[in-house]
Amino acid sequence: MTESPQGQAPSGAAADVPVAFQDPSYLAAVVDLLGAIAYGEMSAFERLAEDAKMSPTLADKAELARMASTEFGHFEGLRQRLADLGADPFEAMAPFEKPFDAFHARTAPSDWLEGLVKAYVGDGLAADFYREIAAFLDAGTRDLIIESLADAGQSQFVVDRVRGAIEDDHRVGGRLALWGRRLMGEALSQAQRVAAERDALSALLSGGVDRPGMDLAAIGRLFTRLTENHSARMEKLGLAA
């Protein structure tokens, strides 16, 4: 079969592993995962655009606007992939709307700095989780997910702003460290709910394309890696994990 541009196949067919997409449970898992990530990208766009209003300078506002634009570009790519797989993109995203919105309501930042830490730490942890699941997918879908989760430019920008704020007022560090730990707990709980409540994703973790699934020990190691990555991000920000 001839592949369409960007490794995407026509509706109802596989991009890189045709046999895999002939398995309804595998297709359902991919649609579920892409729907979750797509809604996450749309949410990131909305949050960054909203957080830009709290920016202390025009330059900071422009930077957040650029980051928001990048997130929306990722969303568009995911939406197209879902359509190419024969799925309605908005139906695929719908199951994640309420739980994701509830998560963001629980972790709404109170100021500019908390918004930056959430964009860096919270979104970073979610991206790590989805990359772990993407390892079980066909190459075309895996590459799209990794591309969609690529740094939107926030890393160095956030690190510079947060470290600068801590240098100006050391009390800021303690407050943001507590905030980062709270984000970690909420994000891990969210990741666990997503994996447990969606049958297709649970089945995917039990056995993926060209590799065995994860047993309880492997899942435990996965969450250990997530925790270690979180600690590394916090350290880079100058915050205690």
Distance of CA 7 to the CA centre of its chain: 22
Query: What tokens does 77 get?
Result: 């790519």
What CATH number is given for 20-237 in this structure?
Answer: 1.20.1260.10
What pLDDT sits at residue 241? Answer: 75
What pLDDT sits at residue 6? Answer: 36
What pLDDT sits at residue 111? Answer: 92
What pLDDT sits at residue 152? Answer: 61
Buried b (16+ CB within 10 A) or exposed e, 9-47: beeebbbbbeebbeeeebbbbbbbbbbbbbbbbbbbbeb
C-alpha distances in Å from residue 190, one per residue of 19, 196, 210: 32, 10, 28
Q: What is the pLDDT of residues 177-210, one digit of tens each?
A: 999 999 998 888 887 777 777 777 777 776 655 5
What pLDDT sits at residue 213? Answer: 59
> Per the confidence metrics, is the pTM higher than 0.85?
no
What pLDDT sits at residue 234? Answer: 94
Residues of the chain where predicted confidence (pLDDT) is lower than 50: 1-18
Q: What is the pLDDT of residues 38-67, one digit of tens each?
A: 999 999 999 999 999 999 999 999 999 998
In the chain, what are the domain boundaries?
A: 20-237
